[in-house]
Structure 1
Amino acid sequence: MESNAKLTNGLSRELEDTRRQLYEALETIEALRTGQVDAIVVQNGSTHELYTLKTADHAYRVFIEKMTEGALTLSQEGIILFANSQFSEMTGLPLSAIIGLPFELFITKSDLSFYQQLFANSWKGYCKGEVEIVYQERRTPVQLSLTALELADGISLSVIITDLTLQKATQRKLQENNRQLEHLNKTLEASNHDLQQFASVASHDLQEPLRKIQMFSNFLKNNAGNLNMEQMAHLEKIIGSADRMKSLIIDILNYSRLSADDGEFSPTDLNIILKELLDDFELMIADKKAKVLYDNLPVLEVIRGQIRQVFQNLISNSLKFSKEDEPPIIKIKASYLASKSFTSPEKTAGPFCLLTIEDNGIGFEDKYAGIVFSLFQRLHSKDSFEGTGIGLAITKKIIEKHHGLIQVKSIVGKGTTFMIVLPLKQQLNGNTG
């Protein structure tokens, strides 16, 4: 009994020593893995040997373990010497099953030749390329970044593996969106062409019967001896409606034509355009006792006929919406800006120009400033003021075609100011900032 007790006690002490040694070994392994130590001392008989851990940089190892990319170390034969947990997740294999395998086993057959070329070249310098890694049914598009490292026990290959699954999905989605956008653009171009053709044909076909309405109405007016006052009033309404219809058809046709590339940009002196327009408005200006004051205007790269239309529409509006008891005063000014913005600081010689057309007319509530450029938008009844409601829409479309900006500010009873920002020169790609 006593001998059995001694044997039991001896076994217990041996088991305890074994547990202690195992615990110390586990602690040592953990310290090595996390980089808490850079060297260990091992007793060898009566002497002690120091083993430094040249690759035990703590920050490096923590980074490799926590990084979102996969990381491998390969031998010169392509055998996996080290793998992080992210690569384990990519393949679905535990780390214990990965270590010691040739990395080629995880490369798809179609990419194997390319990978072998990368592997061979990477020993001479940094290489990268895209392949698919595969294990069982799991396929992952990745980018490999390969760099040779000289370690204590020889040269190894560091491989960083970036998962491209999300990037490839995004690229496919972008390509699909681009295909759809290209299809929509072609459809829109065809639709615009059809609309332009329709507007042109419809305008021509509408003008022919309209001319007859105007002609016979004027014939009746000139021979109205047998018409009473009520009949004459009806005839005047017919003539007035026909005149408005003609203006509307012309404006719609002009608006539709703006979608086409119907002019070239060329350096144009705005002073010459303005003088021509003032000659055209000479009778209306004299009738209203109006004054048009303007600075020396710049030379801009524009489509001459379209910019002339802009000035014509805005000056016409200022004359039209003037006060009955006060002669209209129209001021046109120009300044140079540093950028395409209404809040831009001024800058000598541009590259942008700010044009302002200011009047002292009847104005309108500023809350309508955002809608006056809409097609067919009118803030006053057609009985009070003539017009089709297309002029400012045409103006805005022309300014946009010139890669510019336009806005308006107005105060009821005080007047209206239109502000236009245009580039001095048009860039070839149409992007002027």
Structure 2
Amino acid sequence: MILIVDDKQENLYSLKTLLQLHHYEVDTADSGEEALKKILKREYELIILDVQMPGMDGYEVAETISGYSRSKDTPIIFLSAVNIDKRFITKGYASGGVDYIVKPFDADILLLKVGTFTRLYRQTKELNDIRDNLEIKVKERTKALLDVNKALEISNAELQQYAYIASHDLQEPLRKIITFSKLVSDRYLGEQPEAGKYIEKVILASERMRNLINDVLNFSRLSAVPVYSKTNLQHIVRDTLSDLEIFIKEKDAVLEISHLPEIEVIPDQIRQLFQNLISNSLKFSKKEVTPVIRIWSEEVEAVSQQPGATEKVKYCRIYVADNGIGINESYRDKIFTMFQRLHSKSEYEGTGIGLAIVKKIIQKHNGHITVESTEGQGATFIMVLPLQQQTLQTVI
């Protein structure tokens, strides 16, 4: 709908007829005051406004229209047969007009301009509607994400509560089973080797269950809010080797530790990470071959994968390599999955959670982990961690 505003009826009639002949819907007003009343009631695609009118002139009407939120984007074409000086034309544009046409005008030129401005108005309105709908959808999606996050927080709290129950209520009966089974074996089954073998199976099964509960407990604790601190990885590895001293001696293993840097981490989690990886290397070593485990690192720079990031970020790439039995190519993508075992319990002990915990810890540190391995030739785990934990969410 186009609104024509002119105080002379003959001008209104002629311009209205011209536009209607070209299939435009037209409304008219014979004063600025009447035009403003109509603009408050309905939306127009274009306003053709005479400059010289009694009461409110065209400039005042245009300035008032631009102050209405509903019509501030409606294009205004000024028409004038009197005020054709440059200063009046300039004033028309300053008042909010998009064009200034001098009477008498060329009807074809006017129609071209009317077509252009009405089309631009419709396109702008469509874009604004899309933007408004998008904003509504973003708000709805944001609220949905907040609700999901809240539900996840509740779920994490319940998981931690379960972890407490698992660590106490479930382990207490297991401790009694193991203790009394050993007591029965020592006191009453010395002369009954067949029964002794069955009791030994009970003890081993109970110990596996206890280890499984501990691993599930450790995995659940990774959901807590992270608190990072600058930590010397060299000290972390040294303490880990101290904890694994007996296991290392049993395997007669050789460990080669190169210099490791200070980076921002959650110390307890990184200690658990190294413990799981080194334990794995010891556990899956070759028979009659001295296990050799090498740990080293290098500093690298890369552009962060955060949206819009352009500056390079410093990372620490850490390697843990061994000369063990290696990993079959077909299992390389599965080893970080919960409860994934590549060997039977009779061949190698374990719960199948250790590497899942490692991956979870790396993700908690905004890092990335991969493995390179050939079956029978050892494995190398490669971890990439940011030196500083800031607003990083993804890394190379």
- Tell me, yes or no, whether TM beats 0.5: yes
Change (3 A) 1:103 1:412: farther
Identify which of 337, 340, 352 aligns with 1:374. 337
CA distance in 1: counterparts of 2:248 and 2:284, whole angstroms: 13
SS at match of 1:338: strand
1:400 is matched with 363
Identify which of 244, 251, 262 aligns with 1:288. 251
CA distance in 1: counterparts of 2:178 and 2:331, whole angstroms: 35
1:369/1:408 contact within 8 Å kept? yes
1:205 is matched with 169
1:233 is matched with 197
SS at match of 2:206: helix
Aligned residues: 323
Q: In structure 2, give the amino acid aligned to 1:328.
A: P
- Residue 413 of structure 1 pairs with residue 376 of structure 2: yes
Identify which of 306, 329, 334 aligns with 2:269. 306
SS at match of 2:343: coil
SS at match of 2:275: helix
Change (3 A) 1:122 1:189: farther
Deviates more, 1:222-231 or 1:285-294: 222-231
1:321/1:361 contact within 8 Å kept? yes
Change (3 A) 1:340 1:382: farther
Higher relative contact order (CA 8 A, sep 6+): 2
Change (3 A) 1:406 1:122: farther
Identify which of 273, 276, 293 aligns with 2:239. 276
Change (3 A) 1:198 1:282: closer
SS at match of 1:95: coil
2:229/2:265 contact within 8 Å kept? yes
1:97 is matched with 26
SS at match of 1:351: strand
2:4/2:29 contact within 8 Å kept? no
SS at match of 1:386: coil
Q: In structure 1, give the amino acid aligned to 2:235.
A: I
1:52 is matched with none
Change (3 A) 1:98 1:201: same
- Residue 337 of structure 1 pairs with residue 300 of structure 2: yes
Identify which of 137, 144, 154 aligns with 1:173. 137
Q: 1:179-215: CA deviations, max 9, x gaps?
A: 2222222122112211221221133100111110011
Q: 1:139-162: CA deviations, max 9, x gaps?
A: xxxx72779999983325128632
- Residue 424 of structure 1 pairs with residue 384 of structure 2: no
In structure 2, runs of 5+ residues without a counterpart are 13-18, 44-58, 99-116, 306-311
1:318/1:361 contact within 8 Å kept? yes
**TM-score (ref. length: structure 1):** 0.66
Equivalence map 1:185-200=2 (5 Å): 185-200=149-164
In structure 1, runs of 5+ residues without a counterpart are 1-69, 82-87, 111-118, 134-142, 343-348
CA distance in 1: counterparts of 2:60 and 2:191, whole angstroms: 104
1:257 is displaced (CA, Å) by: 1.0
2:5/2:28 contact within 8 Å kept? no
CA distance in 2: counterparts of 1:260 and 1:181, whole angstroms: 19
CA distance in 2: counterparts of 1:129 and 1:292, whole angstroms: 77
Change (3 A) 1:322 1:107: farther
Deviates more, 1:211-220 or 1:182-191: 182-191
CA distance in 2: counterparts of 1:298 and 1:423, whole angstroms: 12
**TM-score (ref. length: structure 2):** 0.72
Q: 1:313-333: CA deviations, max 9, x gaps?
A: 000100100000211111112
Q: In structure 2, give the amino acid aligned to 1:97.
A: V
Change (3 A) 1:393 1:96: closer
Q: In structure 2, give the amino acid aligned to 1:192.
A: N
SS at match of 1:223: helix
1:177 is displaced (CA, Å) by: 2.2
- Residue 242 of structure 1 pairs with residue 171 of structure 2: no
- Identical amino acids, percent of aligned pairs: 39
1:128/1:144 contact within 8 Å kept? no
1:397 is displaced (CA, Å) by: 0.7
Between Structure 1 and Structure 2, the one with more strand by share is 1
1:385 is matched with 348
Q: In structure 2, give the amino acid aligned to 1:170.
A: L
Q: In structure 2, give the amino acid aligned to 1:351.
A: K
1:123 is displaced (CA, Å) by: 5.7
1:297 is displaced (CA, Å) by: 0.5
2:317/2:385 contact within 8 Å kept? yes
